[in-house]
């Protein structure tokens, strides 16, 4: 299937996609890149045209960056050439692409680490010679070499710490960068003082070695974090930016945010729908997997409503736009939930608070000791204060926590659990009320017809129901379309006066009034088709529990959690599931609208909601921890904190387990650091540890934390 990429060369689209730094560059996400052959295939396109300066394929990101010789040359040609080879290039919105920024930052960090490593390594070599008894003029020579090698550390390497310290002070908080900046500076001050007067120790070796270690662990954290952010790249959004607007005898490309209601769009096979609307053509099959994770295609009949973000699987269709841009379902979804979930993520952690308190204590005690030095033995008090700052600085405490988080997030990812922010680990500890959404979360997505009143119901009945339900987005309507996908609505059916009933629809088909709705007969839910108010066909529909659901609920109960069942479905259907899971009726809530679910969650602080990535966005966003079991990664993570890639709640106990381990590890790290800092601090104050040993012990504590974290979260 050949796609049309000519839109890439229209100015309105170019400005969206091409690189902000270099207008000759455009980056594509390439669907279908798997192996080295693919790299070669795509990159050798550049040999075919002199317009192309370079094509750079990145296998781990599945992207290709195309650079042309001039900004006015066409990109469409390259894109269609790539698609001719059997790949699907999707242009990446330049505003959404954070890779360039990350690369730039990573480069700066790596160079800083390189310089720190070079200086620290050499300083240590010289200091080792001194430990092993070097003396005389050679010792002084080595000390001056250390001094010279420390100058870049003091300025260039410590720079981000100074910056962090000062910006922390501006916000009236003590940043953890503070003690590092102070240690680096005081270490240098004391060492140079000792160097110039010719006696006393030099602490430059361990100060620089420590800074090197801290920088390295920080880089490690940042890159783990970035690897998560990569998931958030919204390709589905980029895809629905383009629309084919019908013109008098053909169509033209326009941007979907410039569409107006009543515009007629042409959608070709494989296209993403750019706006909400109604189907003008006879029928269509669409894939909604990006929106709700449902992999089964949906069939729609004429007049059926379609949503932006779905993908057309069948032949070319026409739709009439009702809503576009930010008014569309997809647009609303993305804009309504983005802001709160992002602003919440960077909240402060317990350990941050603990290290803040410790920092204040350590710094004020050190200051007191230093002041007392002015009245009594300045040098020894100075050394004690310095040893205290170096040894009791809560660096290990501060980095133990993010380290445990990154290790745990990585582990969760290996198990198919994508976690948006580390905050989840902490929130999970306080969560006692679990709200499970019934449909699709703990029951299977597919309904089947049972207990039909006619063994082989007449196709005519089914066609009548399909005609009545053609425009419906209700899950039952989808289920019926799936079940009867071999049927079509006959052309001579004329539907008039379509109305919504409380639990169904009514309409007049070819002059005869019909109703199709669900009703209760002997506590069971039935669906009935009525002709002239007379029942002509009835049947029941069932959706089965997911296999693991029962086991999972039992496991969670064993953890002491209260389980609630919520559903938009009828009371009976919900109660039936609740009974099977042994959830008492008072904890079962049925017939809830998305807004009611949200209100219910809001009235229960510390709640966990697990549900659909799309229908439940409001509730997921309101919950302390929202877990999506369906939906494309980009959309699900806009509203939820966690996404289960395997679309099943069986990951929930696993998530609790991982969070538990993460918290235990953090506590262990905190305790190790606290004991270490307290003992060390006391020893330093008593003058038992000189600044040099203190500075040497400091990286040891960080190393200890690193090993402990690695060990604690390894499985």
The footprint of other proteins (CB under 8 A) covers 35-37, 39-40, 44, 47-48, 57-61, 103, 106-107, 110-111, 114-115, 118, 121-122, 125, 138, 145
- For other proteins, the closer of residues 137 and 560 by Cβ is 137
- For other proteins, the closer of residues 28 and 527 by Cβ is 28
- For other proteins, the closer of residues 37 and 172 by Cβ is 37
- For other proteins, the closer of residues 2 and 60 by Cβ is 60
* Long-range contacts at 578-587 (CB < 8 A, ≥ 24 apart): 580/545, 580/550, 581/442, 581/545, 581/549, 581/550, 581/553, 582/553, 583/553, 587/562, 587/563
Q: Which two tokens stand for residue 635?
A: 């959309």
- For other proteins, the closer of residues 7 and 150 by Cβ is 150
Contacts of 248 (CB under 8 A, 6+ apart): none
State in angstroms the smallest separation of the CB of 709 from other proteins: 24
- For other proteins, the closer of residues 123 and 600 by Cβ is 123
- For other proteins, the closer of residues 98 and 122 by Cβ is 122
- For other proteins, the closer of residues 122 and 336 by Cβ is 122
Please tell me the distance from the alpha carbon of residue 203 to that of residue 183, in angstroms, as a whole number. 10
State in angstroms the smallest separation of the CB of 77 from other proteins: 17
State in angstroms the smallest separation of the CB of 145 from other proteins: 7
State in angstroms the smallest separation of the CB of 207 from other proteins: 19
Pair 539, 452: CB distance under 8 Å: yes
* Long-range contacts at 184-193 (CB < 8 A, ≥ 24 apart): 184/153, 184/154, 184/157, 184/158, 184/211, 185/154, 185/158, 186/386, 186/389, 187/386, 187/390, 187/691, 187/695, 188/150, 188/154, 190/382, 190/383, 190/386, 190/691, 191/146, 191/147, 191/150, 192/147
- For other proteins, the closer of residues 122 and 648 by Cβ is 122
**Selection from 162, 175, 157 nearest residue 110 by Cα:** 157
State in angstroms the smallest separation of the CB of 107 from other proteins: 5
- For other proteins, the closer of residues 60 and 249 by Cβ is 60
Where are the alpha helices (H) located in 418-543, listed in sequence order? 423-430, 459-469, 475-483
Please tell me the distance from the alpha carbon of residue 479 to that of residue 541, in angstroms, as a whole number. 9
Q: Which two tokens stand for residue 303?
A: 């007049």
State in angstroms the smallest separation of the CB of 89 from other proteins: 17
Contacts of 49 (CB under 8 A, 6+ apart): 77, 78
**Selection from 336, 382, 409 nearest residue 691 by Cα:** 382
- For other proteins, the closer of residues 133 and 560 by Cβ is 133
**Selection from 66, 63, 45, 40 nearest residue 55 by Cα:** 66
Q: 469 to each of 292, 463, 495, 513, 536, how far by Cα in Å?
A: 20, 10, 11, 14, 17
- For other proteins, the closer of residues 138 and 368 by Cβ is 138
Where are the alpha helices (H) located in 590-650, listed in sequence order? 594-602, 617-622, 633-639
Q: Which two tokens stand for residue 567?
A: 């559903």
- For other proteins, the closer of residues 126 and 447 by Cβ is 126
Please tell me the distance from the alpha carbon of residue 166 to that of residue 157, in angstroms, as a whole number. 16
Question: Looking up tokens 């550390």, which residue turns up?
Answer: 153
Q: Which two tokens stand for residue 540?
A: 């029941």
- For other proteins, the closer of residues 193 and 231 by Cβ is 231
State in angstroms the smallest separation of the CB of 140 from other proteins: 13
State in angstroms the smallest separation of the CB of 118 from other proteins: 4
- For other proteins, the closer of residues 57 and 412 by Cβ is 57
State in angstroms the smallest separation of the CB of 157 from other proteins: 13
- For other proteins, the closer of residues 47 and 450 by Cβ is 47
State in angstroms the smallest separation of the CB of 695 from other proteins: 22
Per 3-state DSSP, what percentage of the chain is helix, strand, and coil (rounded to 5)?
A: 55, 20, 25
State in angstroms the smallest separation of the CB of 114 from other proteins: 5
Give the orientation angle of helix 651-685 with respect to helix 423-430, to 10 degrees: 100
State in angstroms the smallest separation of the CB of 39 from other proteins: 6
- Sheet strands (E) in 532-635: 534-545, 562-566, 588-589, 607-611, 625-628
- For other proteins, the closer of residues 120 and 477 by Cβ is 120
According to DSSP, residue 272 is labeled B
β-bridge mates for residue 524, sequence order:
521
**Selection from 91, 67, 68, 71 nearest residue 79 by Cα:** 91
State in angstroms the smallest separation of the CB of 158 from other proteins: 18
State in angstroms the smallest separation of the CB of 111 from other proteins: 5
Pair 26, 91: CB distance under 8 Å: yes
Pairing of strands 433-437, 607-611: parallel
DSSP 373-416: HTTS-HHHHHHHHHHHHHHH-THHHHHHHHHHHHHHHHHHHHTT
Instruction: Tell me the CA end-to-end span of the chain in Å, nearest whole number.
Output: 45
Q: Whats the size of the chain, residue-wise? A: 715
In 10 A of CB 52, how many CB atoms?
19
Rounded to 5 degrees, what angle do the CA atoms 422, 425, 428 make? 140
- For other proteins, the closer of residues 73 and 145 by Cβ is 145
Pair 161, 175: CB distance under 8 Å: no
Question: Looking up tokens 């309904």, which residue turns up?
Answer: 447
Rounded to 5 degrees, what angle do the CA atoms 329, 334, 338 make? 150
């Amino acid at each position: 299937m050949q796609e049309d990429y000519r839109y890439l060369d229209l100015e309105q689209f170019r400005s969206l996609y091409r690189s902000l730094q270099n207008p000759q560059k455009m980056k594509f996400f390439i669907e279908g890149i798997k192996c080295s052959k693919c790299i070669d295939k795509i990159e050798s396109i550049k040999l075919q045209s002199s317009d192309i300066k370079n094509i750079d394929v990145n296998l781990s990101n599945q992207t290709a960056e195309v650079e042309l010789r001039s900004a006015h040359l066409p990109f469409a040609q390259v894109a269609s050439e790539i698609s001719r080879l059997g790949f699907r290039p999707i242009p990446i919105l330049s505003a959404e692409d954070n890779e360039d920024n990350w690369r730039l930052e990573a480069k700066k960090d790596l160079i800083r680490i390189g310089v720190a490593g070079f200086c620290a390594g050499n300083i240590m070599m010289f200091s080792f010679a001194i430990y092993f008894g070097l003396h005389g003029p050679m010792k002084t020579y080595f000390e001056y070499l250390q001094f010279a090698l420390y100058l870049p550390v003091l300025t260039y390497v410590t720079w981000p710490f100074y910056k962090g310290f000062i910006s922390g002070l501006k916000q009236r908080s003590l940043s953890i960068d503070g003690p590092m900046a102070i240690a680096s500076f005081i270490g240098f001050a004391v060492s140079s003082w000792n160097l110039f007067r010719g006696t006393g120790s030099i602490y430059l070796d361990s100060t620089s070695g420590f800074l090197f270690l801290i920088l390295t662990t920080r880089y490690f954290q940042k890159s783990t974090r970035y690897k998560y952010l990569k998931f958030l790249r919204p390709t589905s959004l980029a895809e629905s930016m383009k629309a084919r607007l019908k013109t008098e005898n053909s169509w033209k490309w326009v941007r979907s945010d410039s569409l107006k209601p009543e515009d007629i769009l042409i959608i070709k096979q494989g296209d993403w729908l750019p706006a909400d609307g109604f189907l003008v053509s006879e029928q269509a099959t669409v894939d909604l997997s990006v929106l709700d994770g449902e992999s089964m295609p949906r069939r729609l009949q004429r007049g059926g409503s379609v949503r932006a973000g779905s993908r057309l699987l069948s032949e070319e269709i026409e739709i009439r736009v009702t809503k576009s841009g930010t008014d569309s379902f997809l647009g609303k979804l993305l804009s309504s939930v983005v802001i709160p979930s992002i602003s919440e993520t960077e909240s402060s952690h317990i350990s941050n608070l603990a290290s803040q308190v410790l920092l204040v204590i350590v710094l004020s005690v050190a200051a007191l000791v230093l002041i007392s030095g002015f009245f009594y033995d300045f040098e020894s008090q100075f050394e004690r204060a310095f040893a205290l700052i170096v040894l009791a600085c809560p660096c290990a405490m501060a980095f133990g926590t993010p380290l445990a988080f990154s290790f745990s997030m990585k582990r969760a990812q290996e198990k198919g659990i994508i976690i948006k922010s580390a905050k989840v680990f902490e929130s999970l500890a306080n969560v006692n009320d679990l709200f499970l959404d019934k449909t699709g979360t703990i029951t299977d997505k597919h309904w089947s017809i049972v207990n039909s009143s006619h063994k082989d119901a007449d196709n005519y009945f089914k066609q009548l129901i399909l005609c009545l339900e053609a425009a419906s987005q209700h899950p039952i309507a989808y289920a019926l379309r799936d079940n009867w996908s071999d049927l079509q609505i006959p052309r001579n059916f004329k539907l008039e006066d379509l109305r919504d009933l409380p639990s169904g629809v009514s309409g007049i088909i070819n002059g005869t009034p019909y109703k199709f709705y669900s009703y209760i007969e002997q506590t069971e839910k039935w669906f009935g088709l009525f002709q002239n108010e007379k029942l002509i066909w009835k049947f029941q529909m069932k959706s089965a529990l997911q296999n693991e659901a029962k086991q999972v609920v039992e496991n969670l109960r064993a953890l002491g959690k209260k389980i609630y069942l919520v559903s938009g479905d009828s009371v009976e259907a919900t109660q039936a599931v609740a009974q099977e899971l042994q959830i008492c009726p008072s904890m079962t809530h049925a017939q809830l609208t998305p807004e009611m679910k949200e209100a219910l969650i809001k009235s229960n602080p510390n709640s966990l909601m697990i549900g659909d990535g799309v229908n439940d966005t409001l509730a997921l966003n309101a919950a302390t921890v929202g877990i999506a079991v369906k939906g494309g990664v980009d959309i699900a993570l806009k509203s939820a904190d966690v996404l289960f890639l395997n679309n099943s709640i069986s990951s929930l106990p696993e998530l609790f387990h991982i969070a538990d381990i993460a918290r235990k590890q953090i506590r262990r790290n905190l305790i190790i650091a606290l004991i270490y800092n307290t003992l060390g601090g006391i020893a330093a104050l008593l003058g038992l540890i000189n600044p040099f040993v203190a500075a040497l012990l400091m990286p040891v504590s960080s190393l200890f934390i690193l090993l402990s974290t690695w060990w604690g979260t390894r499985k």
